[in-house]
C-alpha cells in the first residue's frame, strides 16, 4: 500500500515539474492581454447599461409628453365645447328643500338615535346576563 502512495506522489511531482512554462514569468504580455480584455469587457458592459438607461428614460419622457399633449388637447376640446353648451344650460336643484324630516329630525339624526338605543340595549343585556351568572347557584357535579 505504501509503495502505491509513494509511486503516485512521485508521479504527480514528476508531471508538475516536467512543464517549463510558468504563468507568472517575466514576459507578462499574457497578463497584460488578460487585464486589457477584462477592462474592455467591463467597459462594454458599462456602456451597454448606460445606453439602456438612456433609452428607457427617453422612452418614458416621450410617453409622458405624449400623454400631456393628449390631455391638453382633450381639455381644450372640452373647454371649447363647454362654452357652447353653457349658453343653453339651466339647472334646477332637486334637493333644495329640507322638508324630508319626521318629527323635526332628518334621516341622519334618526339613524344615530336608533344606533344609540341599540347599543344601550346590548350593553343592558350583557350586564343582565353577567349579573345572573354571579347570583345564581350553579352546582355541577
Rg (CA), the chain: 45
103: left (phi over 0), alpha (psi -120 to 50) or beta: left
**Cα distance between residue 97 and residue 89, in whole Å:** 22
Take residue 65 and report the three cell numbers written for it.
Answer: 409628453
Alpha helix positions (H), the chain: 2-17, 29-85, 107-135
Measuring CA to CA, which residue among 125, 104, 105 is closest to residue 113? Answer: 105
pLDDT of residue 129: 87
pLDDT of residue 4: 86
pLDDT along the chain (141 residues), means of 10: 84 74 59 76 85 84 85 79 56 59 80 94 91 67 54
**Cα distance between residue 34 and residue 120, in whole Å:** 86
**Cα distance between residue 108 and residue 75, in whole Å:** 39
pLDDT of residue 91: 65
Partner residues linked to 102 by β-bridges: 105
What DSSP assignment string belongs to 44-60? Answer: HHHHHHHHHHHHHHHHH
Neighbours of 109 (CB within 10 A): 13
Amino acid at each position: 500500500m505504501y509503495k502505491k502512495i509513494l509511486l503516485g506522489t512521485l508521479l504527480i511531482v514528476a508531471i508538475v515539474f516536467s512543464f517549463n512554462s510558468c504563468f507568472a514569468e517575466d514576459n507578462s504580455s499574457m497578463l497584460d492581454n488578460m487585464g486589457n480584455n477584462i477592462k474592455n469587457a467591463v467597459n462594454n458592459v458599462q456602456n451597454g447599461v448606460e445606453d439602456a438607461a438612456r433609452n428607457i428614460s427617453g422612452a418614458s419622457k416621450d410617453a409622458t409628453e405624449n400623454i400631456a399633449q393628449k390631455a391638453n388637447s382633450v381639455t381644450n376640446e372640452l373647454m371649447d365645447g363647454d362654452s357652447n353648451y353653457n349658453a343653453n344650460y339651466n339647472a334646477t336643484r332637486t334637493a333644495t328643500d329640507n322638508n324630508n324630516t319626521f318629527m323635526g329630525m332628518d334621516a341622519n339624526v334618526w339613524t344615530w338615535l336608533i344606533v344609540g338605543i341599540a347599543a344601550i340595549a346590548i350593553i343592558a343585556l350583557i350586564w343582565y346576563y353577567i349579573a345572573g351568572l354571579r347570583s345564581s347557584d350553579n352546582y355541577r357535579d
